[in-house]
Amino acid sequence: MNDERWVTDADRPFATLLRYARTYLHPEVYNDAIDDLRYLTSRPESRQDPDTRRFKAELRRVIIGDTAGLPAKALSDAAEYDDGDLYTFARRLWRELFPDEPLPRP
């Protein structure tokens, strides 16, 4: 991701999703960090944590196709996923992190 402002400026669209993706989902850290992300998003306190709530809301937006403001390839660069496309990756991630919740629908 060439423009680091997308992950360092919390006011930019999808900044939290991109920051979480880079921190927990990038291949260089995935094996060590994915369990931390699962824990972070599953804690009852996470419903009150603004960053975790924003991450979940931004992931939900991607799943339903509302990607206005998400820079092209930004999520791919942050997570380097190999799911084929942004939406497949987002749906897989939702199922992985929120297995008891249905996939968001538009």
What domain range is 33 assigned to? 23-97
pTM of the model: 0.88
Q: What pLDDT was estimated at residue 44?
A: 84
Residue 7 included in any domain: no
Cα–Cα distance, 76 to 74 (Å, whole number):
5
Number of domains in the chain: 1
Cα–Cα distance, 4 to 56 (Å, whole number):
21
Burial of 33 (0-12, 13-18, 19+ CB in 10 A): middle
Under-50 pLDDT residues of the chain? 1
Residue 45 included in any domain: yes
Residue 9 included in any domain: no
Cα–Cα distance, 34 to 65 (Å, whole number):
24
Distance of CA 64 to the CA centre of its chain: 13
CB atoms within 10 A of CB 87: 14
For residue range 5-25, list pLDDT tens digits in order. Answer: 665 666 788 999 999 999 999
Residue 27 included in any domain: yes
CB 7 within 8 A of CB 26: no
Q: What pLDDT was estimated at residue 82?
A: 87
CB 91 within 8 A of CB 63: yes
